[in-house]
Structure formats: structure tokens, C-alpha cells
Chain A
């Protein structure tokens, strides 16, 4: 099933709750204006329980404002946010109680130790004492547990912030750039942790990131936001299994091959010629027909490689980048 939505005005929410039918996150026509500027504009999303939902956008696209509205930090100008069916504006405490979050930069009390920082979060979320040790175990913070948070490296501060987010044993994790400041091994480790929480414990993960490969590796579904508006929502599987929309041809004479293809209706456009390799896009006939035309013209076809548009290319196309 595709959740693809193209440039909606005030889109109807898509997707349904997976477990009990109630979406983990549902936003309805969510809008935030700062003076005349619409930071978020009529955003309607539905995040199913238990899925990992990637939220992509350029700087200033409205990701963090959306996350702040999800958590009740910023009041929407218009629209609603429902977490597991509970309205954040009307019943904030109930709505955010199953939520662990990390918003933008990792922050902690610098004069308190890692364990004390976590213990404060535990007490305020009414979590059991054992949850502190569990969070320390999950984020591998054993050796740092007695160290003051102010003396941690940026990467370890990020780990502490992630551990804090896991303390209430959340049903929903809202993470804004969780890979910030982490080294490559740390990024892989956090990706595996989130995957495991989602698969084994049914935790819903809403994750925003600039790192497209991270989202591509992790998310079950991906939404792209641009200038405050949702411009696409897509299943990760759809991204992988989509029909190829580019062909790379290695031929004996690229200029002649170009002339041959330009004469065939539906063969698309030659977007690039480089070292005997042609890149063809926008074709409407089958790749086999293109191959046959090349061979029948007497040219040698050394290779034909179908190519999918990856997330990065898709993101750049949709957000107006090159």
C-alpha cells in the first residue's frame, strides 16, 4: 500500500493505527504561523503504532516546529495533535505521558552525574528504579554513570539524552536528529537499538534527520516536509521496489546511440553522456525495447543497468535541489 501524497493543500490524514486502530501520532491540519511566516502549514500526518516514521526536510522546513507542537512545547496556530488519541492541547499530561523525546540539542544538568540526571527523569515520569539501570545498559553508559554530565563529550551527551528519552518505557519516541554528534559506530548502534525497540517492544519511533541515508536505513515510512508543507509520504519498501526510472547504457559509440534513441518515441531523454555511458531517464517504453533498438542499429551494447531513484535523489527533486 502506498501512502504517497503529492503536494496536498489540507491533506486528509493517511495510515491507520496498527495495534488498536488508534494512530500513535495524528496531526490534523496542523499549522503554526510566526507573524506572517507559516513555519508549518496544514500538516496532516498519521503515524501507525509500532512503526518507525522518518521525517525529512531541509533546514527551516518546519521539522522542529512540528516536533515541538507534537510535544506541547509550541501551541499550534490552527489544527490538532493527537497522541494515541489524546489531544495534546486539551490533555497535555495524559497525551505526553507515554512519550520519550529528544528535541534538537541534547541537554542535561551539568553539575549532576549521568545517573543523577536519569534518576531525576525517572522520578518525574513515575518510572521504576530499575529503569535507570536499563537505560544505562541500553545506551552503554556504564563507565560514565558517575561522571558529571557537564564533562561528557558531545557524543556521550547525546547518548545521555537518548537514555533520558527511554526512561518512561515509552510507547512513542519522538527524536529530533538523534544521530547528532555520534560517531559512525554510535550511529549504527542507535539505529539497531531503535529497530529493536520497534520490532520487539512495539515502540513507535518518530525520527527527524538531515542524514538521508540514516532515514533510508531505518524508517518504515518517510514523510518529506518542505516550507512547512507535507510534500510526500512514502513506504520505504515502495522506495526500494519502485520500477527503475533511469537506465545506464554502456555502448560502443555514445553519440550514435544518442541519435538512435532520440528517434524512438518513448525512449525518454538522454540526461548525460560520459565515457561511452549514456544515462536515459523519463522513458515510457520497456528497457528491453531500448536495448533492442541499440543492437539493431549495429552498435555494441556492453551493459544496461536499470537504476532506481534513491531517497537522496527523490528528496532533492522534491525539495527543489539539484
Chain B
């Protein structure tokens, strides 16, 4: 019962926060950019007339069809690492930045309950964002009138997106831990960006299948056609990272002196 109360208060805090709304809005604009790119590829002359590209611009970004579009769409969910990272950083870090951590930690509520509720609400928010972004992407694909639609294509792509979203969710507890240990949101936001950078770096080495951020990159296809595909071992790494960091967040919240 108390878990539901904690969950509902976390939801109240989230829905009354400008940052998460702004973040969601920016994320929802991303599919427009991808579909715009498709439109330019599909109708370069029309795009020139509309001023979308310069008169003499060269377009060399692949073909304008559903397979290319869905491949690019999948990348949006890889970038979700940053979206979720910022949301988690804010949910945990705001308690320190706004000085409310001491209020929260003097409540007769288990600190594990607080961690679980915050992770769950941030994950639910991210899932809703992902569903919105994916639905929007598919609708925009039809609106642009892309060729090459095959009924099974979206189903196959949707499975990839579900896997990507789950992989990104596994990284959420890392940011949460850094926010609690760093007592604010600057450190976790910085780490989220660093994670993406390191992920890209490691994806091009032999360690890509074992480095959490690289795993998401490789799954999304951002590593290129020749890049290895993460398997069960990589999934175990991600689940292990999630569990370890969730426990770490709890222990830091529970054991460390809260002198803020």
C-alpha cells in the first residue's frame, strides 16, 4: 500500500516538472526530423523549391524507403539513453538540488521503496515517450508516402525497438546511482553524455559486446553492417549492471550520511 502511495507522489512530482515535459517534447520532435530527411530524399526538387535544402546541395544519405526509414527510426531509441538518463538524473538528483532529500529520508518509508518507485516512474515515463515517438514515426512514414512497405517490416522493426528500449531501461539505474552519490543532477547528466561517447568508442573495439553503452549502440545498428550483434551474454551484462546499480543506489541512500 505504501509503495502505491510513494509511486503516486513520484508521479505527481514528475507531471508537475517542466524539465520532463520539455524533454518529452524535444524527443517527440525527433521523428519529424527523420521523416523530413526522408521527404528530402524522396522529393529533392520539391525540397529545393520549398527551401528545405540549398539549390546546389548534394544529398547522399541513402534511399527514401521504409527499410531505410525504420533503420533511422531505431536510432532514435538508442538516443533514448540520453533522454532516460536526464529523466533519471532529475528524478533522483532534484531531491538534493532542491534540498528535499532530508524530507524524503526522514519519512517512515523504506529507502528501497523510494528507489524502486523512482526507477519505476522514470521507466514508465520513458516507455510512454517511446510509444508516442514510435507511433508518431510510423504515422509520419505513411504521411510522407515512402515506398517499399511490406506488412512484416514494421513488426520486425517493432521487436528491435522493444529490445532497444529494454536495453536502455537497464542503464537507468546507473544514472540514478550517480545522482544519489553525486547529490545533484549535473554529475549524472554529464555521465550520460560520456556514456554515449564511450559506447561509440567501445563499439568499434572488441569490447563492444560487453560494454553496456556499446551494447545498445550495436543493437540499434549504429555500429554499421559489419558490427557484431549482441547476444545473451550482452543481455546478462545489462541486467547485471541494472541490478548492481539499483542495489548501489539503495545502499548509498540508506547507508551514507545525508548531510545535505
Contact = CB atoms under 8 A, between A and B. Distances in A.
A123 B6 CA distance: 8
A112 B108 contact: no
Given A73-B258, A107-B98, A124 B9 contact: yes
Contact of B5 (A103, A105, A123): A123
B25 interface: no
B257 A93 contact: no
Contacts of B16: 109, 111-112, 116
Contacts of A316: none
Contact count band on A: 20 to 34
Contact of B12 (A103, A108, A116): A116
Interface of B: 2, 5-6, 8-9, 12-13, 16-18, 98-100, 102-103, 105-110, 255, 257-259
A304 to B, nearest CB: 52
A96 interface: yes
B221 to A, nearest CB: 38
Contacts of A92: 108
B17 to A, nearest CB: 6
Interface in A96-153: 96-97, 99, 101, 103-105, 107-112, 116, 119-121, 123-126
Interface of A: 65, 68, 71-75, 92-94, 96-97, 99, 101, 103-105, 107-112, 116, 119-121, 123-126, 164
B108 A68 contact: no
Contacts of B103: 107-108, 121, 164
A140 to B, nearest CB: 21
A124 B4 CA distance: 10
Nearest to A108: B100
A124 B5 contact: yes
A120 B99 contact: no
Contacts of B255: 75
Given A109-B13, A112-B16, A116-B16, A72 B5 contact: no
